[in-house]
Structure 1
């Protein structure tokens, strides 16, 4: 990868969390297996020698884009005895802020949706429980998405994708204009007024795009943004406004044929009966985004929360991710939908900024970005 250049809470201990997580990972395989194992009937042992079973209510805090098929959730609840309550709230940034502000009185047991642009803040603020000294056996392929520096495996990778500039290929063909290919091209007068992006201060893909420019231009990234704004780039509050509202291939009557979206987006712009997508991702503009799940420190039901985290890495959930949340699974061997295998081309060398760099500079970068884009 390309890297940077220049209710009242009963606080509980974490003694049994590692064992619960290992148990949950082992039993999650039975969700799509022979059915001979009953996760609800397997006991785990906490540090005091008592036994406990997965079960009870687990409150899962998520971002607004969390979605899984009802049947997948129902099967999990039936097989584990867990009552899963899902509470969405904002995007990855808003979710992380929510966790930090309520860390002394956590509003849930588990969390899904913290991404690698905000993960360092969640870890630094101590909102996540660790797995003590016992390593959790993640499924094959997951380890490559582990957050650097998270030695306690407090954040379990669940899905990944790449935030990339997308273009409406049909618009460019109809207008006889060559399509852009790079970040530099977006500041070219040939593309004046054609680009729309969600803002870095209000959107996790917007922040990912800012980090792409930091990785590409180093300390000169503000100059790039000055040029981008001068070239008529539109900045919206979120992805929906950008893609569905302003993009020519979105759901509305947009007028801009260049948009910040994802590497998976072209798989969803294939007209019925067609064998071609009307959009493509510019693979030299991408920033890898990984989403994580974890057990909250002070959770009321840490054993159940660990089972939920493990379930999110299970084959059933991983297989549902592409069509439910438009992201790629992290587990090896999960079959992708046919359109994804053909049209969701992935970058081989996406941008990356070290989480430590993000943690140290995020607030300053966002302040400067806001200043540059609102002059």
Structure 2
């Protein structure tokens, strides 16, 4: 009888699991890490969706798009989260995404009207350093003239790495190749993604690391450590907006749309500032966490129109490769 009861219960559980819809979300590694927002986002969404949310970490943001292009219409993903404004045009060219027209009261520095992708957080790229650093450069030229060692990310696999190329291009235009030639000997190494680069910085392998103006908030809030700061560059700082989009071939279109709407809801936006350490796309009802008011706020925000990014990216990438290969 005990065996029959156990067998019956097992069959019932198996049947229940088979009836539970599954939503697969491709994202970047740090999002799904134990210290990232993934676990909390998964728990909060599953409490409302009666579904199984499967979040798959696939390197950094640019690596997500490469994976999606490789898989094409055969992809298992229903949603991709972690692309940014520098990759939107290339993502749309794949023809794999569908419009969802998510509506929210965004508190972004720019107006958002894109019907395909929904922004969930944003920030400014910056070089993070220890406050004990003797001399902090005020721009790229001062950085290049210094003996400071920096760690950056590969623009072919990393959204911060690509953001850096666009940052230099937006700030210097035709002078960008000269900036990269001058910066080349400051670069200790180029990593595939953000996590590896930031880890090397924390291990003391470099004086500065390409990250975000919001990164010091992690140390301040999570570790009660105020020893980190983001250098303020007088050329301005390039802005990144991270987005989430639904795939046209998803077999769970309504659930995918539900997830996109969840990501701009107060439930998700409250989680992001102290797990992904970025500004929320929609300011939570409780406001920003204490400590965010201490962060470096750029006097000038730099940006490149989404439709102009592909051509500029190719030019900037060629300039970067040439400078670092010499």
Q: TM-score range by the shorter chain?
A: 0.7 to 0.9
Q: 1:81 to 1:333 in 2, by over 3 A?
A: closer
Q: 1:103 to 1:339 in 2, by over 3 A?
A: same
Q: Indicate if the aligned counterparts of 2:98 and 2:246 stay in contact, CA closer than 8 A.
A: yes
Deviations for 1:264-322, whole angstroms, at most 9, x for unmatched residues?
12223349997x72222123252111110111011111100000111111111101101
- The whole-number CA distance in structure 1 between the counterparts of 2:80 and 2:223 is 40
Gaps in structure 1 of 5+ consecutive residues: 1-54, 173-177
Aligned 1:260-279 pairs, distance under 5 A: 260-270=210-220, 277-279=226-228
Q: Which residue of 1 aligns with 2:138?
A: 181
Deviates more, 1:215-224 or 1:264-273: 264-273
Scaled by the length of structure 1, the TM-score of the pair is 0.73
Pairwise CA distance, 1:125: 1.7
Deviations for 1:186-220, whole angstroms, at most 9, x for unmatched residues?
111xx214333223333211111111110111122
Aligned 1:303-314 pairs, distance under 5 A: 303-314=254-265
Q: Indicate if the aligned counterparts of 2:123 and 2:241 stay in contact, CA closer than 8 A.
A: yes
Aligned with 1:347 (options 284, 298, 313): 298
Q: 1:69 to 1:300 in 2, by over 3 A?
A: closer
- The whole-number CA distance in structure 1 between the counterparts of 2:213 and 2:64 is 23
Deviates more, 1:305-314 or 1:198-207: 198-207
Q: 1:169 to 1:108 in 2, by over 3 A?
A: same
Pairwise CA distance, 1:325: 1.2
Provide the aligned C-alpha RMSD in A.
Answer: 2.4
Q: Indicate if the aligned counterparts of 1:62 and 1:86 stay in contact, CA closer than 8 A.
A: yes
- The whole-number CA distance in structure 2 between the counterparts of 1:97 and 1:262 is 23
Q: Indicate if the aligned counterparts of 1:159 and 1:329 stay in contact, CA closer than 8 A.
A: yes
Q: Which residue of 1 aligns with 2:319?
A: 368
Q: 1:202 to 1:235 in 2, by over 3 A?
A: farther
- The whole-number CA distance in structure 1 between the counterparts of 2:42 and 2:266 is 13
Aligned 1:280-295 pairs, distance under 5 A: 280-284=229-233, 285-295=236-246
- The whole-number CA distance in structure 2 between the counterparts of 1:299 and 1:90 is 22
Query: SS of the counterpart of 1:300?
Result: coil
Pairwise CA distance, 1:260: 1.5
1:141 aligns with 2:107: yes
Query: SS of the counterpart of 1:235?
Result: strand
Aligned with 1:170 (options 127, 132, 138): 132
Q: Which residue of 1 aligns with 2:175?
A: 220
Question: Which has more helix, going by share of residues?
Answer: 2
Q: Indicate if the aligned counterparts of 1:145 and 1:157 stay in contact, CA closer than 8 A.
A: no
Deviates more, 1:82-91 or 1:97-106: 97-106
- The whole-number CA distance in structure 2 between the counterparts of 1:121 and 1:346 is 29
Q: Which residue of 2 aligns with 1:96?
A: 65
Q: Indicate if the aligned counterparts of 1:129 and 1:154 stay in contact, CA closer than 8 A.
A: yes
Q: Which residue of 1 aligns with 2:11?
A: none
Q: Indicate if the aligned counterparts of 2:269 and 2:283 stay in contact, CA closer than 8 A.
A: no
Q: Which residue of 2 aligns with 1:109?
A: 78
Scaled by the length of structure 2, the TM-score of the pair is 0.83
- The whole-number CA distance in structure 2 between the counterparts of 1:345 and 1:193 is 20
Q: 1:373 to 1:72 in 2, by over 3 A?
A: closer
Aligned with 1:76 (options 45, 50, 53): 45
Equivalent residues, number: 299
Pairwise CA distance, 1:359: 1.5
Query: SS of the counterpart of 1:171?
Result: coil
